[in-house]
Each structure stands twice: as structure tokens, then as C-alpha cells.
Amino acid sequence: MLSTKSSKRRLISALAATGCLLTGFASLTQAQSLPGLTIFSGVERQNQLSYRLDFGGQADNWDRYRLKIPGKKMELGAAQFVVTYPDYYKGKFDTKNVEVRVKGKKVPIKEVVWDKENYKLLIYMQEPVAAGNSVDLILSNVKNPPFGGTYYFTGAILTPGDVPLPRYLGTWILSIN
């Protein structure tokens, strides 16, 4: 009788522990898709942009970054997108594998320039992207930095025919494991 009660307790404890572990793994997987809950980032909530790292954001591995810009942030048309990253980010970009998607459709890019000295990725559009559209900047074949950490990437646009000053859209707070 005693062994039956203790084996039931062990079984219930094992099931509870397994449930907690599975919940933890699901949370880790989801953490690489959107900003989620960010505390003490220094970036106001309305300026945080969502992103997704397709291959998990593992340090020193290849990845694909999907940097999302909601339509409400695109108040003006964009002739150029500027992605700025911190000087301590030691990853590598493949300028031949950059896409801009509007409403899920790929739009033509004139040129992509990686300005390593100023920590910027400049994406020049063949035709300006109209205001009010949600935009996905897809950076493929990115080599993640060798060490994990949190990296603040900022997004800005240059509008067609306007004074050539970047207009801030928001910040992607990337987590590399």
C-alpha cells in the first residue's frame, strides 16, 4: 500500500516537472520571434519594432533576420532604408541576400551598401515604398556575432525628394544566445 502511494506521488511529480520544462522550452522558442516583454531597455514601448530570427539567433551561426516595420510607422514614403547597429556587434551581413517585402511581395532594390565604418546597412530602393505599408526587411546569410548578447538595431528611412536626413522609425532589440 505504501509503495503504491509513493509511486503515484512520483508519477505526479514527474508529470508536473515535465510540464514545466516543456513550457520553458516553448517560451525560449518564442523569445526569438518578437520583442515580447522587455524591461529596462531604454526604448519606449511604442518605438520597439518586432523581428524574427529564423534560425534561433545562436551565437557564431548563420541566420536570417526578419526586421518588421508596421504600416503606422511608415508615415512617409521611403526611397532608402537605413539599419544602424551598435559598434560592439561583430556579425557579418551578406549584401547580395537582402530583400524588402511589402504586403508579402518582394519589391526591387537598386543597391545595398554595408557601411562598416559607420555601422550601417543602407538599402536603396529602385522605386520608393509608399507610405502606410507594412515592410519586412529580410537579411539572409547573416553571420551572428561570436558572443551572445542584446543588440539594438535602429531603423530609419530617407524620403524621396526630401532633405537627406534619416527619419527614425524605431528600434529592434535583438537577442543573440
What are the structural domains, with CATH classification, of the chain?
31-176 (2.60.40.1510)
Q: Note the pLDDT of residue 28.
A: 43
Query: Cell triple for residue 70?
Result: 508596421
Say whether pLDDT at 26 is over 50: no
List pLDDT tens digits, range 29-55. Answer: 444 545 544 444 556 677 899 999 999
List pLDDT tens digits, range 73-112. Answer: 999 999 999 999 999 999 999 999 999 999 889 999 999 9
Which residue's entry shows cell 539567433? 57
Phi-psi region of 25 (alpha: psi -120 to 50; beta: other; left: phi over 0): alpha
Q: Residue 3 to residues 11, 14, 16, 61: CA-CA distances in angstroms? A: 12, 16, 20, 50
List pLDDT tens digits, range 51-74. Answer: 999 999 999 999 999 999 999 999
- Rounded-to-integer distance, Cα 114 and Cα 97, Å: 12
Residues 6+ apart with CB under 8 A from 47: 168, 170, 171
Q: Note the pLDDT of residue 164.
A: 76
pLDDT category of residue 8 using cuts at 50, 70 and 90:
low
The better pLDDT of the pair 22, 10 is held by 10
Say whether pLDDT at 137 is over 60: yes
- Rounded-to-integer distance, Cα 11 and Cα 4, Å: 11
Nearest CA to 176 out of 92, 39, 99, 61 is that of: 61
Q: Note the pLDDT of residue 84.
A: 97
